[in-house]
Chain A
Amino acid sequence: MEKFAILRSGAVPLPAENVDTDQIIPARFLKATSREGFGENLFRDWRYQPDGQPRPDFVLNNPRYAGQILLAGKNFGCGSSREHAAWALYDAGFRVVISSYFADIFRGNALNNGLLPLQVSEAVLQRLLAEVEREPGTGFIVDLARQVLFVPVWEENIAFDIDPYKKECLLHGYDDIDFLVNQQAAIAAYEQQRVWAY
């Protein structure tokens, strides 16, 4: 996993609420057996017509907006557990998704792939969306070590929470598998003392 430190970027607004992982990456594109290449089908049916032509009204096709931050409506990533949703966002260049809350499985998947799910209040989210829609070039700074989203145009730091362990993982590019493999002796000891019901 790549390290995440500080990100300076513009943002792409997607105010729709309850964006489910079937929209992020439809099931018919889950047939690959590697992690790469899902970005081209990110938001496939919102982004393209059935004939493959881009839908001009979808934000990813709007040249006014660019950046590695996706600003999304509440309950982003609900539905299926497919990690392909996080892979698709990452593959398409996103490193941060800002929303007022995330579905649990998506949040975990994002964190396991160096994609930061940054949760703000609904009021802050609405202000951010309004700001970006008013001025598409608005830049932001996400400082993970300090846990702040800096909005230069407002000269305002917005603090955000993150699990301290997951923060360390992101900052250093570690993943849980490294940690867990190191726990194997303790896990085996647990298995020994466990009273097995089956």
Chain B
Amino acid sequence: MANTLFDKIWDAHVVSSIAGGQDVFYIDRHLIHEVTSPQAFDELGARGLPLFRRAQMVATADHNVPTRNQHLPIADPLSRSQVDKLTENCQKYGVELFGLGHQRQGIVHVIGPELGLTQPGMSIVCGDSHTSTHGAFGAIAFGIGTSQVAQVMASQCLLLSRPRRMRITVDGQLRPGVTAKDLILYIIAQLGTGGATGYFVEYAGEAVRSLSMEGRMTVCNMSIEMGARGGLIAPDQTTFAYLQGRPYAPQAERWPQALAYWQTLYTDEEAEFDAEVRYDAADIEPMITYGTNPGMGLALRTPIPLTVAEGETAGFHKALQYMGFQPGESLLGKQISHVFIGSCTNSRIEDLRTVAAYVRGRQKAPHVEAIIVPGSKAVEQQARAEGLDQVLAAAGFELREPGCSACLAMNEDKIPAGAYCVSTSNRNFEGRQGPGARTLLASPLVAAITAVEGRLVDVAALLEIISRTEPAGTVAVSA
């Protein structure tokens, strides 16, 4: 029978099905961090239960860590106690921990792939909604709540009903200067912030196939921002080449065995989806968000709409009021005071290279505060090895130490109330980057250009001019 990629992987993980349609669904890899795990460990302790399969768990500290002076004790006592609690729990239960200061520490969704912990065909969960990132490898990966974290700890399984399947196909090639982030912001703007609720999405088509693994991760990462349970991309040569030789990837004779299985992971020709949408890559321009959910996005040079569909008017006006924008207004020329490059969406080496390639020989605008927070220790070290730290420093960008940082502003990296921040992160909710902060989501390239210009500019037009006046390679166009 013709099957979707999603169904092939799902079926392989069903331990049993119970009356009422739920499946006992097996979890291959369980990633944990300091914010959503302590109550789950407590639950286990209160019930006197052991960890069922601790070897399938990996922990890191990311959400609540400082991005400066990580070698010093964490100043905030509550943050410190949460990070200490993770260390204590991991020691007590024997869970592998890449804690603060560890060479493998970083944002959970950056280190999983980087270490080869994330592999095609796996089921992967984490108490974090951006777990969908790992779907880039052809895995079923999704975020769970803390009660479910405890369930996986106790049984390596979850009780789940199978989501519906949606395929999003993007035909053709992205234009120069249009990146994976623009692609996903475009899709979310088309479908809306709840448009894929109840679905698991497969991304397909030439534009998706042409993306690097970093770009695919950016796309899958934001699946949750349109309500999808997760998103995945069929593994291919790009995936296998990325994984080969990584510390936790199959080694020696295990590699060809794994590869043989992974090559069966694709959607059959005749397979049917519950919903299908199709876009043309040529229609996608550099994107930005103007409102307070990720669905409120548009091409940077397009004005904010004058009106929206009936029933959505109240939310539209509330969002614009929060953002300090007017209906019908153009965003071009808006002064921006903060630029944040980081988060599980865009903090990988390719993102840092994109930024460095653009800012090399340029300077950020004097009034802009621009910070770059690498996704992991490995990304940070790679950036230093390539000399990107020097390029960024010379341009006035501050390269920090790894963590979630100003994406959710749990640590001290906050955007001041009322300030505009062009951010490569994934959410522009009210107060997400600090109480009163105003977030505009964009790609690393748009963020870098904005930092240099100090205001929002017509990126597509600017890149066109640069390509005619500067030697090739000035703008490394990330996939």
Give the residue among A27, A28, A84, A187 with the most B Cβ atoms within 10 A. A27
Q: Is the interface of A mostly helix, strand, loop or mixed?
A: loop
Interface residues in A74-118 (C-beta closer than 8 Å to B): 74-75, 78-84, 86, 101, 103-105, 108-109, 112-113
Q: Is the CB–CB distance between A190 and B26 below 8 Å?
A: yes
In the bound complex, residues from chain A placing their C-beta under 8 Å from that of B473 are none
Q: Does A33 contact B (CB under 8 A)?
A: yes
Contacting residue for A184 out of B42, B52, B427, CB 8 A: B52
Q: Is the CB–CB distance between B78 and A83 below 8 Å?
A: no
Chain B: CB-nearest residue to A76: B194
Q: Does A153 contact B (CB under 8 A)?
A: no
Q: Does B19 contact A (CB under 8 A)?
A: yes
Given A103-B227, A165-B18, A176-B159: A197 touches B410 (CB 8 Å cut-off): no
Residue pairs across A and B with CB atoms within 8 Å: the count is 197
Q: Is the CB–CB distance between B312 and A186 below 8 Å?
A: no
Q: Is the CB–CB distance between B194 and A75 below 8 Å?
A: yes
Encoded as 1 (CB less than 8 Å from any B CB) or 0, chain A from 37 to 53 comes to 00000000100001000
Given A28-B409, A79-B129, A105-B129: A18 touches B194 (CB 8 Å cut-off): yes
In the bound complex, residues from chain A placing their C-beta under 8 Å from that of B121 are 197
Q: Does B262 contact A (CB under 8 A)?
A: yes
Encoded as 1 (CB less than 8 Å from any B CB) or 0, chain A from 121 to 149 comes to 00000000000000000000000000000
Q: Does A63 contact B (CB under 8 A)?
A: no
Q: Does B266 contact A (CB under 8 A)?
A: no
Chain A: CB-nearest residue to B315: A17
In the bound complex, residues from chain A placing their C-beta under 8 Å from that of B163 are 104
Of B144-152, B334-342, B345-353, the segment with at least 4 beta carbons within 8 Å of chain A is B144-152
Of B31-39, B176-184, B282-290, the segment with at least 4 beta carbons within 8 Å of chain A is B31-39
Q: Is the CB–CB distance between B227 and A165 below 8 Å?
A: no
Give the residue among B15, B20, B52 with the most A Cβ atoms within 10 A. B15
In the bound complex, residues from chain A placing their C-beta under 8 Å from that of B318 are 16
Q: Is the CB–CB distance between B159 and A179 below 8 Å?
A: yes
Shortest Cβ distance from residue A124 to the other chain B in the assembled complex, whole angstroms: 15
Give the residue among B82, B147, B224 with the most A Cβ atoms within 10 A. B147
Q: Is the CB–CB distance between A83 and B315 below 8 Å?
A: no
Shortest Cβ distance from residue B405 to the other chain A in the assembled complex, whole angstroms: 11
Given A16-B315, A34-B42, A190-B15: A163 touches B432 (CB 8 Å cut-off): no
Q: Is the CB–CB distance between A45 and B431 below 8 Å?
A: yes
Q: Is the CB–CB distance between A181 and B154 below 8 Å?
A: yes
Contacting residue for B119 out of A30, A179, A197, CB 8 A: A197
Give the contact-size bracket for chain B.
35 or more
Shortest Cβ distance from residue A187 to the other chain B in the assembled complex, whole angstroms: 5
Encoded as 1 (CB less than 8 Å from any B CB) or 0, chain A from 163 to 190 comes to 1110000000001110111011011001
Q: Is the CB–CB distance between A78 and B36 below 8 Å?
A: no
In the bound complex, residues from chain A placing their C-beta under 8 Å from that of B128 are 80-81
Q: Is the CB–CB distance between B193 and A18 below 8 Å?
A: yes
Contacting residue for B227 out of A31, A78, A84, A163, CB 8 A: A78
A109 to B148, CA, bound (A): 8
A197 to B151, CA, bound (A): 24
Q: Does B198 contact A (CB under 8 A)?
A: yes
Q: Is the CB–CB distance between B146 and A83 below 8 Å?
A: yes
Contacting residue for A18 out of B47, B127, B129, B293, CB 8 A: B293
Of B105-113, B253-261, B454-462, the segment with at least 4 beta carbons within 8 Å of chain A is B253-261
In the bound complex, residues from chain B placing their C-beta under 8 Å from that of A164 are 19-20
A26 to B437, CA, bound (A): 13
Q: Is the CB–CB distance between A183 and B15 below 8 Å?
A: yes
Shortest Cβ distance from residue A151 to the other chain B in the assembled complex, whole angstroms: 22
Given A20-B429, A83-B146, A181-B155: A198 touches B122 (CB 8 Å cut-off): yes
A165 to B76, CA, bound (A): 43
Q: Is the CB–CB distance between B20 and A180 below 8 Å?
A: no
Shortest Cβ distance from residue B56 to the other chain A in the assembled complex, whole angstroms: 10
Give the residue among A45, A73, A75 with the most B Cβ atoms within 10 A. A75
Q: Is the CB–CB distance between B431 and A26 below 8 Å?
A: yes
Q: Does B49 contact A (CB under 8 A)?
A: yes
Contacting residue for A78 out of B24, B293, B408, CB 8 A: B293
In the bound complex, residues from chain B placing their C-beta under 8 Å from that of A78 are 193-194, 227, 293
Shortest Cβ distance from residue B239 to the other chain A in the assembled complex, whole angstroms: 13
Q: Does B366 contact A (CB under 8 A)?
A: no
Interface residues in B98-152 (C-beta closer than 8 Å to A): 119-122, 127-129, 131, 143-148, 150-151
Q: Is the CB–CB distance between B127 and A177 below 8 Å?
A: no
Q: Is the CB–CB distance between B315 and A45 below 8 Å?
A: no
Q: Is the CB–CB distance between A75 and B227 below 8 Å?
A: yes
Contacting residue for B26 out of A16, A80, A187, CB 8 A: A187
Q: A17-B314, A183-B15 provided; 9 other pairs, C-beta below 8 A?
A: A16-B315, A18-B193, A20-B427, A20-B429, A23-B431, A27-B63, A30-B35, A78-B293, A187-B15
Which 7 A-B pairs give the minimum distances between C-beta atoms? A83-B145, A180-B155, A109-B145, A33-B38, A112-B147, A75-B194, A31-B78
Interface residues of B (CB under 8 A from A): 12, 15-16, 18-22, 24, 26, 28, 35-36, 38-39, 42-43, 47, 49, 52, 63-64, 76, 78-79, 81-82, 85, 119-122, 127-129, 131, 143-148, 150-151, 154-159, 161, 163, 193-194, 197-198, 224, 227, 229, 250, 254, 257-258, 261-262, 293, 312, 314-315, 318, 408-410, 417, 427, 429-432, 435-436
Q: Can you list 7 A-B pairs with a CB-CB distance of less than 8 A? A: A22-B430, A27-B408, A27-B410, A32-B78, A180-B24, A186-B24, A198-B122
